[in-house]
């Protein structure tokens, strides 16, 4: 559902009949000429910049890489600069948002060909923002400003009225969506506490008189805080739906526009309209776009924001007992909000909306599968268990993707395999069956994933194996998926964490045990293992030698990103000990994984045979192999 008030981005609409009259005055004409020259100049400069060096198409570049003719590649945003072996420089541009690696893989370049020694040295840099703004955005800003100004001048010369400037802001404020939502609390699942807290608002909107008669201070503003897609918008709509009042929806980012002064006038207009339809709800999504702490804006342009914010506060302060408007604002960054917003009589009520837990996810899945044909094998509880971290919006998307897959397969209902596939696609990017891997590579992959799976199976405190596959997905060659039994791992014991590291090391251990060599496929696993071990030592006080203290600062300091400068608050000696402890944990886990695999080599071989044959092994077949049986292949879906 898209409730955004689709702002009209083309202010160049003829307002009334009549051809484009010339903007009045010679001063205007001069300004017009200057603007046109500016735009042409900027386009000229930008084309100059992009054309240093010879242009080459992406397929040609891919061809050159395959032929080993490229020495190095620098990717900056969408601009690709390649230096060939004869030191000539060529330029290419990718149009899409796909990563350079994905683009190359689509063009048939294998991963090995993108790495030294055979392949080029690759440097990936973020887009050159300053240059990007200058070359790509500025010309457009100029163009739009030009058109806007033209339209402005046109209207003025047509009617010559002072009021036009006001109307300009007003016509855009009309884009505010007003409707009477039909959704109720029934449609919002897994956020029971938030619903309870909003109950009072519903009561108030239904019968404001009751509150006033008792002399209660009427609520004015509610701040909903939570990650994206957790249903803040939906909850606000449900409040309106429950109370049967109109719902006005606008996004904070819509206020912030290039026309100075428009933001504040839009706010004025919005509240004016709300007064006419009250009792009602005004929902301001992404309030942080205008409600940032004042004086902390980086770069220019926050005057406009400040005016908009001030206007919102002025309007809310002007509410009296007869106003009957509730302003609900949503944000996922309450830490950067201006404290003035939270003063009594403004957004003084806070409602936290969290990502759903497993029971909540099941309920959300129920809501979104309601009325959709499901096949009998669908088990929403299992799906809920498999999707920790998914928000309500993710789950809605999952159900939708599953339905699309079922439709494309001409099925009468959505089955578990469609949901599974949709889930994996969402978690790791679309399946890439087309990527060619040699049988030898496939075998290494199979042993790697089997290694993870066996390590998990034979570790007492690891999560049970849910699925093993060697079908490549996104950047991952294959993967093993486990099903957390203890939900949403709120608490992990030391042995659980250790076993997680054993499982992570299982892939690499298998490569060593079987092939006595190590590929690059395990780097991700090592990162994970090191991260876990580091957390055990420095954050969780799980190392005997270093004891119960926390070293360093948490890297995810929520306040405006990271702290500047060094955050190390411990000595060189401690640093050495930390490194030592981490290595010890990882070494021990690696040895443990190797022992498991050596002791169960026959089972690992059997699993690899099965993986080579059917590529994806699910839990029942996996457990059959571990029990020494050869599973019947009919069980395998798809």
User: Could you tell me the smallest distance in angstroms from the CB atom of residue 15 to ligand ADP?
Assistant: 33
**Part in contact with ligand ADP (CB under 6 A); list of ranges 108-116, 125-133, 185-193, 458-466:** 185-193
Identify which of 330, 57, 367 has the alpha carbon closest to the alpha carbon of residue 189.
367
Answer with the entry of Zn ion, ligand ADP, none that 507 interacts with (C-beta below 5 to 8 A by kind). Answer: Zn ion
Binding of residue 511 to Zn ion (CB under 5 A): no
Tokens of 577: 């000990």
Binding of residue 451 to Zn ion (CB under 5 A): no
Binding of residue 472 to Zn ion (CB under 5 A): no
Residue ranges in 438-493 assigned as alpha helix (H): 439-457
Strands 465-469 and 479-482: antiparallel
User: Could you tell me the smallest distance in angstroms from the CB atom of residue 367 to ligand ADP?
Assistant: 5
**Where does 435-571 show beta strands of DSSP type E?**
465-469, 479-482
User: Could you tell me the smallest distance in angstroms from the CB atom of residue 44 to ligand ADP?
Assistant: 42
The SS3 of residue 482 is strand
Answer yes or no: are the C-beta atoms of 328 and 281 closer than 8 Å: yes
| H, E, C per residue of 95-152 | CCCCCHHHHHHHCCCCHHHHCCCCCCEEEEECCCHHHHHHHHHHHHHHHHHHHHHHHH
Known active-site residue 449 = yes
Residue nearest to Zn ion (CB): 507
Nearer to ligand ADP, 233 or 616 (CB): 233
Subset of residues 517 to 556 that bind Zn ion, contact rule: CB under 5 A: 525
Nearer to Zn ion, 519 or 574 (CB): 519
Answer yes or no: are the C-beta atoms of 224 and 328 closer than 8 Å: yes
Q: Over the Cα atoms of the chain, what is R_g?
A: 30
Subset of residues 226 to 245 that bind ligand ADP, contact rule: CB under 6 A: 226, 228-234
Nearer to ligand ADP, 393 or 540 (CB): 393
Subset of residues 318 to 377 that bind ligand ADP, contact rule: CB under 6 A: 330, 364, 367
Answer with the entry of ligand ADP, Zn ion, none that 230 interacts with (C-beta below 5 to 8 A by kind). Answer: ligand ADP
Binding of residue 426 to ligand ADP (CB under 6 A): no
Answer with the entry of ligand ADP, Zn ion, none that 1 interacts with (C-beta below 5 to 8 A by kind). Answer: ligand ADP
Sequence-ordered list of residues with C-beta below 8 angstroms from that of 340, at least 6 positions apart, any chain = 294, 309, 313, 346
Identify which of 117, 250, 80 has the alpha carbon closest to the alpha carbon of residue 179.
250
Nearer to ligand ADP, 251 or 324 (CB): 251
Which entry of 304, 396, 418, 449 is annotated as an active-site residue? 449
User: Could you tell me the smallest distance in angstroms from the CB atom of residue 188 to ligand ADP?
Assistant: 5
Residue 78 CA to residue 95 CA, distance in Å, equals: 7
Nearer to ligand ADP, 143 or 367 (CB): 367
H/E stretch holding 206 reads helix 192-206
Identify which of 318, 353, 346, 328 has the alpha carbon closest to the alpha carbon of residue 195.
353
Instruction: Tell me the number of residues near ligand ADP by CB under 6 A.
Output: 19
Identify which of 244, 338, 227, 242 has the alpha carbon closest to the alpha carbon of residue 288.
338
Tell me how far CA of residue 226 lies from CA of 352, 353, 362, in angstroms: 6, 5, 19
Q: Which of 42, 80, 188, 274 binds ligand ADP (CB under 6 A)?
A: 188
User: Could you tell me the smallest distance in angstroms from the CB atom of residue 190 to Zn ion?
Assistant: 32
Answer with the entry of ligand ADP, Zn ion, none that 392 interacts with (C-beta below 5 to 8 A by kind). Answer: ligand ADP
Subset of residues 33 to 72 that bind ligand ADP, contact rule: CB under 6 A: none
Nearer to ligand ADP, 190 or 521 (CB): 190
Answer with the entry of Zn ion, ligand ADP, none that 189 interacts with (C-beta below 5 to 8 A by kind). Answer: ligand ADP
**Part in contact with ligand ADP (CB under 6 A); list of ranges 130-138, 186-194, 243-251, 375-383:** 186-194
Residue 322 CA to residue 209 CA, distance in Å, equals: 9
In the block, which residue shows the tokens 């991260």?
A: 531
Residue 424 CA to residue 387 CA, distance in Å, equals: 10
Residue 8 CA to residue 251 CA, distance in Å, equals: 14
Nearer to ligand ADP, 195 or 467 (CB): 195
**Part in contact with ligand ADP (CB under 6 A); list of ranges 95-103, 140-148, 221-229, 597-605:** 221-229
Q: How many residues does the chain have?
A: 638
User: Could you tell me the smallest distance in angstroms from the CB atom of residue 229 to ligand ADP?
Assistant: 5
User: Could you tell me the smallest distance in angstroms from the CB atom of residue 353 to ligand ADP?
Assistant: 6
User: Could you tell me the smallest distance in angstroms from the CB atom of residue 491 to ligand ADP?
Assistant: 25
Nearer to ligand ADP, 35 or 393 (CB): 393
Answer with the entry of Zn ion, ligand ADP, none that 191 interacts with (C-beta below 5 to 8 A by kind). Answer: ligand ADP
User: Could you tell me the smallest distance in angstroms from the CB atom of residue 357 to ligand ADP?
Assistant: 11
**Part in contact with ligand ADP (CB under 6 A); list of ranges 225-233, 250-258, 274-282, 577-585:** 225-233
Q: Which of 507, 537, 543, 603 binds Zn ion (CB under 5 A)?
A: 507
Residue 281 CA to residue 241 CA, distance in Å, equals: 10
Nearer to ligand ADP, 169 or 229 (CB): 229
Q: Which residues of 445-460 are buried (b: 16+ CB within 10 A; e: fewer)?
A: bbbbbbbbbbbbbbbe
Q: Which of 84, 144, 393, 437 binds ligand ADP (CB under 6 A)?
A: 393
Residue 346 CA to residue 348 CA, distance in Å, equals: 5
Chain centroid, CA 253 distance in Å? 18
Residue 512 CA to residue 502 CA, distance in Å, equals: 15
Give the residue numbers marked as catalytic.
449
Binding positions for Zn ion, rule: CB under 5 A: 507, 525
Where does this chain bind ligand ADP (CB under 6 A)? 1, 188-191, 226, 228-234, 330, 364, 367, 392-393, 396
């Amino acid at each position: 559902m898209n409730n955004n008030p689709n702002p009209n981005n083309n202010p160049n609409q003829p307002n009334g009949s009549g051809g484009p009259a010339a903007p009045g005055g010679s001063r205007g004409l001069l300004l017009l000429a200057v603007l046109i020259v500016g735009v042409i100049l900027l386009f000229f400069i930008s084309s100059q910049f992009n054309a240093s060096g010879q242009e080459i198409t992406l397929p040609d570049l891919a061809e050159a890489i395959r032929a080993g003719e490229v020495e190095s590649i620098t990717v900056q945003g969408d601009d690709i600069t390649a230096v060939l072996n004869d030191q000539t420089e060529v330029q290419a541009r990718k149009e899409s948002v796909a990563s350079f690696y994905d683009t190359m893989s689509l063009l048939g370049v294998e991963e090995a060909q993108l790495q030294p020694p055979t392949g080029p040295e690759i440097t990936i840099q973020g887009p050159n923002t300053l240059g990007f703004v200058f070359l790509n955005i500025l010309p457009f800003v100029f163009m739009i400003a030009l058109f806007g100004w033209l339209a402005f001048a046109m209207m003025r010369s047509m009617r010559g009225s002072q009021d036009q400037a006001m109307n300009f802001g007003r016509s855009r404020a009309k884009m505010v969506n007003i409707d009477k939502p039909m959704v109720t609390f029934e449609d919002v699942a897994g956020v029971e506490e938030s619903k309870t807290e909003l109950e009072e608002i519903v009561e108030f909107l239904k019968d404001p008189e009751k509150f006033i008669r008792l002399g209660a201070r009427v609520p004015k503003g509610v701040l909903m805080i939570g990650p994206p897609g957790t249903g803040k918008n939906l909850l606000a709509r449900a409040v309106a739906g429950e109370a049967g009042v109109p719902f006005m929806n606008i996004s904070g980012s819509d206020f912030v526009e290039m026309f100075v002064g428009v933001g504040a006038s839009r706010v004025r207009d919005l509240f004016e309209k709300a007064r006419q339809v009250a009792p009602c709800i005004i929902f301001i999504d992404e309030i942080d776009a205008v409600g940032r702490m004042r004086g902390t804006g980086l770069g220019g342009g926050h005057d406009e924001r400040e005016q908009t914010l001030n206007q919102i506060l002025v309007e809310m302060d002007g509410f009296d007992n007869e106003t009957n408007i509730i302003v609900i604002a949503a944000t996922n960054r309450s830490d950067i909000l201006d404290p003035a917003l939270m003063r009594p009589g403004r957004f003084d009520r806070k409602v936290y909306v969290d990502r759903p837990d497993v029971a909540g996810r099941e309920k959300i899945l129920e809501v979104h599968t309601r009325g959709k044909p499901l096949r009998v094998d669908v088990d929403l509880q299992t799906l809920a268990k498999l999707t920790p971290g998914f928000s309500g919006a993710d789950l809605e998307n999952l159900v939708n993707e599953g339905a699309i897959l079922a439709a494309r397969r001409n099925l009468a209902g959505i089955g578990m395999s469609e949901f599974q596939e949709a889930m994996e696609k969402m978690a790791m990017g679309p399946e890439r069956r087309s990527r060619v891997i040699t049988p030898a590579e496939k075998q290494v992959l199979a042993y790697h994933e089997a290694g993870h799976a066996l390590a998990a199976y034979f570790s007492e405190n690891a999560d049970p194996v849910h699925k093993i596959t060697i079908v490549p997905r996104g950047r991952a060659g294959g993967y093993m998926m486990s099903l957390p039994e203890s939900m949403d791992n709120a608490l992990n014991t030391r042995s659980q964490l250790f076993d997680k590291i054993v499982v992570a090391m299982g892939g690499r251990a298998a490569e060593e045990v079987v092939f006595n060599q190590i590929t690059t496929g395990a780097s991700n696993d090592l990162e994970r293992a090191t991260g876990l071990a580091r957390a055990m030592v420095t954050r969780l006080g799980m190392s005997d030698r270093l004891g119960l203290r926390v070293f360093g600062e948490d890297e995810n300091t929520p306040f405006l990103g990271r702290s500047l400068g060094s955050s190390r608050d411990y000595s060189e000696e401690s640093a050495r000990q930390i490194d030592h402890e981490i290595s010890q944990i990882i070494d021990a886990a690696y040895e443990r994984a190797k022992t498991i695999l050596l002791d169960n080599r026959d089972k690992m071989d059997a699993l690899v045979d099965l993986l080579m044959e059917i590529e994806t092994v699910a839990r029942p077949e996996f457990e059959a192999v571990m029990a020494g049986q050869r599973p019947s292949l009919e069980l395998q879906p798809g």
